[in-house]
Amino acid sequence: MIPRSITIAAPAKVNLSLEVLKRRRDGYHDIVTVFERISLADTIRIRTGGKGIDVSSDIPIVRRREENIAYKAAKSILDFAACREPVTIHITKRIPIAAGLGGGSSDAASVLMGINRLLVLKVAGADLMALGAAIGADVPFFLSRARFALGTGRGDEITPLRTRRIFYHLLINPAIRLSTREVYERLDRTAGLGSNIKGLPPGIRWGTGSSERGLKGLTNRAAGDTINPASFLNRLAAGPDSVLRNDLQGAAIERKKEIGRIIERLAAASATKAIISGSGPSVFCLFRERKEAVDAKQRLVKELSPAERRRWSIFVVSTR
């Protein structure tokens, strides 16, 4: 049999808003987040043939293949479909690892979709979503193929936001080791133990307002008004400083003080607000025009030390 292959992009994401609501009994946290898919992407090539499931990458990811999220995704869908077809997966990494940009989750989503298409397994979308959610909370967002989406629950309950808006970002990954689990644990300790997270600043949460398609609105507690998903993106375009938010940022800075200094430097270079994506350590700011992001990058790079230029990865990216 002639081997077949498929190549699929695995784009990164940023969290334009991330509010932590409470810690759940299962140890995870309920959140409300607004995802944006961006142009920074890995490339996944899947082909039939080989022996079992083989996963490789152009850079080291994990020591044991069974720990690789792409391997888990492949095994998950093949087991679900009762398919024993061997597949070989190669990942060309461009998204920094453990960066708060969803690179691993996007790789997993692309593997699920790619194998489903390549082997014509005909696994339904709802089943793909369930498989993805079992692998990682961010995987369903990438499976949705939405450019923007509202994420609730663990972030795995996805409502796409329909818009033609395109944003640009100056994005920094400083190659700092930062564990998502440690960031959430620090948040629990500093914001209050128990099922309800206390002491966080006013922000965006589920409210009682209405929006299109019967969705509940988002309420800006500081402003005292209702924001539906569509108007959230409108407000973001009009004034990102008042809307960009991440409840994990304080805890991330407490774990790694350098992140706070990077946020300050990026904000100074861009003359706009900068925040972390996910649990960090990547930091980004938002622009409406690409030229603004490019100009800000040039100002920032001039101020970097030689060591920072070697260690930091700096990208100008757009909505994808």
Longest C-alpha distance within the chain, in Å?
64
Domains for the chain: give ranges and CATH numbers.
5-160 (3.30.230.10), 168-318 (3.30.70.890)
SS3 content of the chain, % helix, strand, coil (to 5): 35, 30, 35
What is the per-residue pLDDT across 13-44, written as a single tens digit (0 to 9) for each? 999 999 999 999 888 999 999 999 999 999 99
Where residue 54 falls (left for φ over 0; alpha for ψ -120 to 50; beta otherwise) is beta
- The pTM (predicted TM-score) of the whole model is 0.90
Other C-beta atoms lying within 10 Å of the C-beta of residue 167: 23
Question: Would you please indicate which residues are annotated as catalytic (active-site) residues?
Answer: 13, 138
294-300, Cβ contacts within 8 angstroms, sequence gap of 24 or more: 296/170, 296/269, 296/270, 296/271, 297/170, 297/269, 299/269, 300/170, 300/172, 300/265, 300/266, 300/269, 300/270
d(CA 230, CA 48): 42
Distance CA 154, CA 137 (A): 6
Q: What's the pLDDT tens digit per position in 125-167?
A: 999 999 999 999 999 999 999 999 999 999 999 999 988 999 9
On the question of a cis peptide bond just before residue 281, with omega within 30 degrees of 0, the verdict is: yes
Distances (CA, A) of 175 to 45, 131, 314: 26, 30, 11
At residue 2 the predicted structure's pLDDT band, cuts being 50, 70 and 90, is: low
